[in-house]
Structure 1
């Protein structure tokens, strides 16, 4: 069985390391950019009509649970 030269092993291991880091970075970037569709957009949440609607529901003793 023939052994690879040290230079070849170094190049292969460096390439593997770079590809692993690039792949992990790409996955993290994609997860950060994904939109959470379960949350209300902040623009809507801050609108006056939405605030009135939520206040009316609370006044009717409706229990509203939300993420902070």
Structure 2
């Protein structure tokens, strides 16, 4: 019997920076601005990670708002 699992993909801070071609300061400004709705990171061992699904959803919302 197989147990269904949901595999989530996480991106590191530098990967998020590369994805949007923005500096770490800009990414943190986005995180702190509630009006933008940018996904909050998950902290694991004092490092920040973003769920890829959350970033994809945020991008879709941004395209819909434009």
TM-score (norm. length: structure 2): 0.25
TM-score (norm. length: structure 1): 0.24
Bigger Rg, which one = 1
Higher relative contact order (CA 8 A, sep 6+): 2
Name the structure where helix makes up a greater proportion of residues.
1
